[in-house]
Amino acid sequence: MSVTKGASQSQLVFHVLFPVAAADIWDHLRGVYGVGFGWIIMAELIGADEGLGKLLHTCDIKSRPGYFAVIVVIVVLAFLCDQLWRWGARVLFPYRQRS
């Protein structure tokens, strides 16, 4: 309809197509962020010189419960980030909410 009203190609993309696709792009970015968090966990488990990776390595040598506690912290951080992305979707795209 916008083309029949005289919209140019750039107007069509930026004012019609992108707003329609923005919610799906946000959802896909949320999924990619989750995959990225998986890679972060793997990188931390392989070995790091500082941060949670070093703490994991130290706990692996000294104490098993500490090792699992650090893993739980990483998982909780990932969960909280995912919930933040979900909240962002509800705020930015309220029309996508199911009844």
Q: Indicate whether 77 belongs to any domain.
A: yes
Answer whether residue 88 shows pLDDT above 90. yes
Q: Indicate whether 3 belongs to any domain.
A: no
Q: Indicate whether 9 belongs to any domain.
A: no
Q: Indicate whether 67 belongs to any domain.
A: yes
Task: Work out the number of other CB atoms within 10 angstroms of the CB of residue 64.
Answer: 9
* Whole-angstrom distance, CA of residue 57 vs CA of residue 71: 11
Count the domains in the chain.
1
Q: Indicate whether 8 belongs to any domain.
A: no
Q: Indicate whether 15 belongs to any domain.
A: no
* Whole-angstrom distance, CA of residue 42 vs CA of residue 2: 48
Which structural domain range is residue 73 located in?
22-96
Q: Indicate whether 2 belongs to any domain.
A: no
Q: Indicate whether 56 belongs to any domain.
A: yes
pLDDT for 47 equals 65
Cα torsion 82, 30, 27, 92 to 10°: value is 60
User: 9-53 pLDDT, tens per residue?
Assistant: 888 888 888 888 998 999 999 999 888 888 877 777 776 777 777
